[in-house]
Chain A
Amino acid sequence: MTYLAKPKLHHPELPVNALGFTRRDYEGTISTLCAGCGHDSISAAIIQACWELAIQPHRVAKLSGIGCSSKTPTYFLDKSHGFNSVHGRMPSVLTGANLANRDLIYLGVSGDGDSASIGLGQFAHSMRRGVNMTYIVENNGVYGLTKGQFSATADRGSKSKRGALNTDEGIDLAILALQLGASFVARSFSGDKAQLVPLIKGALNHPGAAFLDVISPCVAFNNHEGSTRSYDYVRHHNEAVNFLDVITGKEELTAQYGPGSVQEVRSHDGSLLRLRKISEDYDSSSRIAAMSYVQSRYAHGEIVTGLLYVEPEAGDLHESLGTTARPLNELGEKELCPGQAALEKFNAGLR
């Protein structure tokens, strides 16, 4: 029911940002996702981040592929142009849009099926080109809209809702993004708004390719014993079984913790996420150290979240291409058409 707009009435004392906008001004239509879906928390975090940054909503272009996550751009920033493209191909559409007008803010929203399966190639190449964008993957390890098939980020050995064992290795998109040259790489959890909002803000402000892998539990299809990442952990620790209540769509889980600590957060699907807040001495300026750290913790069953890597002075695709400072979509005949005199010279050289 994406055509149902939210009522715009709000409390007169709702705080406003530097532009005089309330958070409501950054909202979209009512979400049609399942109650309790992690994706809705991410939408809320995007709204919060844009509001806090006082971004002009219409200066954002929001693009997505296909899937539950890719539906979400309708649920935030309804003053922005949105583009729900084809499955796995948001990165190329975003790249083209960015080439056309370098002055807008590009927000790409994708899922683990969209980016790690069908769209892995486009994900990879948009990272290596350094497209100036914020690329968020709402990662639940499962295909929601088609009812529960494994996605490529599901860990080997995890079980589907129907009991099938995932025999394929899971893809860590954050590691890939690091390897492929993304200049801002973060991982977060949809239940941790305190961590997520600042990361989105950082990504939106970043002048190059910013990638955010956000673990975002699926309440409908990945909410069972033995599911994805926590399969092994849950079996060993046996602490997730009581979490079935959430299936009915209760309020979302949140986690709050201090720097340097390791905290276990039960996700909706009952698996156990171990979120490691980056410690004070974590070196987020070293791509190689980041990859090594994340992977070594993964070997211990832990998922590292936070800002993994940042290259604050990163360049972007326009810099590589030497594009003019003016948006290409503003150029007209004067700048673009060499005219008849030049053509006559051209002809003369071909006789």
Chain B
Amino acid sequence: MKRIEAVNDFVVKFANVNGSGSASANTLFAKAIMRMGVPVSPRNIFPSNIQGLPTWYEVRVSEAGWLGRRGGADLMVAMNPQTWEKDVVEIEPGGYLFYDSTKPLPADKFRDDVLVLGMPLTEICNATYTDARQRQLFKNIIYVGALAALLGIDVAEVEKLIGEQYKGKEKLLEPNLKALHLGRDYALAHLPCPLGITVKRTDRVGERIFIEGNSATALGAVYGGATVCAWYPITPSSSVAEAFAKHCRKYRVDAQAGKNNFAIVQAEDELASIGMVIGAAWNGARAFTCTSGPGVSLMTEFIGLAYFAEIPAVIVNVQRAGPSTGMPTRTQQADILACAWASHGDTRHVLLLPEDAAEAFDFTADALDLADRLQTPVFVMTDLDIGMNERLCRPLAWDDARTYDRGKVLTHDDLEAGKRFGRYLDVDDDGITYRTYPGVHPRRGSFFTRGTSRDRYARYTEEGSAYVDNMQRLLRKFETAKQYVPEPVLRQGARPSRHGVIYYGSTACAMDEALSELEAEGIALDALRVRAYPFQDSVIDFVAAREHVFVVEQNRDGQLRTLLLAEGELDPARLSSIVHYDGTPITARFIRREIEERLSAFNVRPLRRTAAAGE
């Protein structure tokens, strides 16, 4: 059997037991490779569980820099007997299986086409440590040591990382280093080091940073000036609020007074979370909440209120697989329609669709500006794949000259000077009206905010003409939004093509790779990464200018396609869905195969017609 041989281009998958302390060891492994200048993209595949159930950590090593999930595993680190069979099957032919050989396993538990690397991890731990927890935790570090030897990872990089992790905790540093070398020495002595797959130092990481999307999102909220965060714990968004709290403790505590320039409330539910955000934004603070699908469902009534009463609100939706509780720890892009059209009656909401952590940072800060500018809810639509995995992305950047766009707000002086105020009076003809903050002026500027219909001066009315006037203005405002939301990113194919592909969000990393592969095969395709709803004309024009456009997304029903059809009044036959929705992140392999098949179908059809005509 030919062994897989590859330098800086392979997948290692760790099969672990949840709660066994493997996460930090696995991260250590991935970071060590990154420190050698080789791009890695790890993914957590984990259950909705705290302890005991299976969890996986999949590290793709790719010198080419592909950050999407590849699929398959070249080396399986099988540390979980519960999933042994499934894990062994997943190894690519010619791949490698690393396992704890303390307990002998019958020969039929293995595969002939896989190189088996047994190491008596439990035995080594039991001989070295007496404490049960230590035996467990150091087992993880020991296998990292062994893998370093097997894959040719520079052990000095691992040591350095351990040193950084335990800086100031010298008591923990030494035993960790000892465990690392224990594993490495054993592997060097007993296993065929190095394997056919190896890591070689290069310089392909550059200035990029390695960050979880949720942390970047939270930092975007800090930079964007959010002072109020109200949230309710829900996977996979909880770490946005937790990271916001952490970043605020670092950046937002008044050094002199020791007081907080922020307020974070863990609410009793998502209804209260969004209610607090709306209350705070109504009162002139920048506020946001973070949630996932079920939370959006609960917030829907309030979202309608914010749309109709025109109150800013930023909602970060870290999407997971629905419907209902769905698969809480699996990724999807399945809330596009639920968010774009959230709430009863005629509503439309702004969606921002970041591709990665860096864009999540930018778009969250932008969302706070947009919400104030447009006086309406703005969704930042990430997903579990972006949110809960560390990923390489460009460094976060902030222009110090940037000021917050607080939108159209009349101040005390404006009112004092006698500036005309009608809360829903469209003086600039862009659908956006002026508002005032409560308490601004003793005699002028007060108004009543309500979810019921009102006239241009915020007075309650059920007069049909006043209602229609208001609803039409809201449409104008949504039209205005197009000039403020992020533009789509066009990637022209190598040659002119009649076909195009539209994609968004976390699909981008797999799409980049798929487009490159297709190009290598001689298939040219124009690609448009949509970054926001409402769609600019350029998005609709992209479809109109092409014979056929694929819309690649991670949900069952092709939700963005539906939205495009509805908004652009497009011919459904010209847009087809390529969907991947099993809860795992979409892969380049999948996209490439789908596009190849469909394009070949397009090419075959005219030939058949020709044949038919000739008969």
Contact = CB atoms under 8 A, between A and B. Distances in A.
Interface of A: 2-3, 56-59, 61, 63, 73-74, 78-86, 89, 91-101, 103-104, 121-122, 124-125, 129, 317-318, 321-325, 328-329, 331-333, 335-340, 342-344, 346-347, 350-351
B171 interface: no
Contact of A339 (B268, B279, B398, B461): B398
Interface in B426-443: 436-443
A122 B271 contact: yes
A332 B227 CA distance: 10
A80 B446 contact: yes
B510 interface: no
A53 B287 CA distance: 32
How would you classify the secondary structure of chain B's contact residues: helix, strand, loop or mixed? Answer: loop
Contact of B209 (A129, A324, A328, A347): A347
Contacts of A323: 259-260, 262-263
Given A2-B460, A328-B280, 14 more contacts: A83-B282, A89-B271, A96-B283, A97-B280, A99-B285, A100-B285, A104-B438, A122-B275, A129-B265, A333-B403, A335-B261, A336-B222, A338-B223, A351-B207
A93 B207 CA distance: 43
A84 B263 contact: no
B503 interface: no
A99 B222 contact: no
B278 A328 contact: no
Nearest to B164: A349
Contacts of B265: 95, 99, 129, 317, 321
Contacts of A57: 442
Interface residues of B, number: 75
B170 interface: no
Contacts of A96: 228, 230, 275-283, 287
B98 interface: no
B396 A95 contact: no
Interface in B303-324: 305
A57 to B, nearest CB: 8
Interface of B: 205, 207-211, 219, 222-223, 225, 227-228, 230, 251-252, 254, 257-265, 267-269, 271-285, 287, 301-302, 305, 395-400, 402-404, 436-443, 446-452, 455, 459-461
A321 B251 CA distance: 16
A85 B451 contact: yes
Contact of B395 (A84, A124, A333, A347): A347
Contacts of B225: 331-333, 336-337
Given A2-B459, A324-B261, A122 B268 contact: yes
B9 to A, nearest CB: 22
Nearest to B463: A3
B267 A125 contact: yes
A323 B257 CA distance: 10
Contact of B438 (A84, A101, A336): A101
Contacts of A86: 275, 301-302, 305, 451
A86 B450 CA distance: 8
B251 A94 contact: no
B446 A79 contact: yes
A324 B260 contact: yes
A92 B278 CA distance: 9
Contact of A340 (B261, B400, B448): B400
Given A58-B440, A74-B448, A338-B223, A101 B276 contact: no
Contacts of B437: 81, 101, 329
